Amino acid sequence: MRLSNAKINHIAHIVADHLTTDRSVKCLRDQNDIRLRVKLIITDELKLDEDVDRFARREIKNMAKKPPEGSKEWEVLYERHYEEELNRRRSAKADGIRRMR
């Protein structure tokens, strides 16, 4: 999904405002640092989604017998390739984070 920079900033402001005003949350950083981090997380997730989408489409395109886009078979294949790649990338990212500790 595409979001403009303005929309991402707006969402990040809402999240940061909520976190810094919620009495049940103890913030260790100021509101702007939190907003910037939320913006980075949203941007990274959207980029990951775009990359995985391209991967899944390319996998289907490279099949010898490709189903027509929009068909039930295409949707099933897309979902399978998308989920497998997303899980693979998130697992690799989690492994990298664990190694950094």
pLDDT digits (tens, 9 = 90+) for 4-54: 999 999 999 999 999 999 999 999 999 999 999 999 999 999 999 999 999
- Please choose, from the candidates 77, 79, 24, 16, the residue with its C-alpha nearest in 3D space to the C-alpha of residue 42: 16
Can you say how many angstroms the Cα of residue 92 is from the centroid of all Cα atoms in its chain? Answer: 14
- Please choose, from the candidates 85, 15, 78, the residue with its C-alpha nearest in 3D space to the C-alpha of residue 48: 85
Residue corresponding to tokens 């989604």? 49
Q: What is the 3-state secondary structure (H, E, C) of 42-97?
A: HHHHHHHHHHHHHHHHHHHHCCCCCCCCCCHHHHHHHHHHHHHHHHHHHHHHHHHH
| pLDDT level of residue 101 (50, 70, 90 thresholds) | low
Amino acid identity, position 75? E
* pTM (two decimals): 0.79
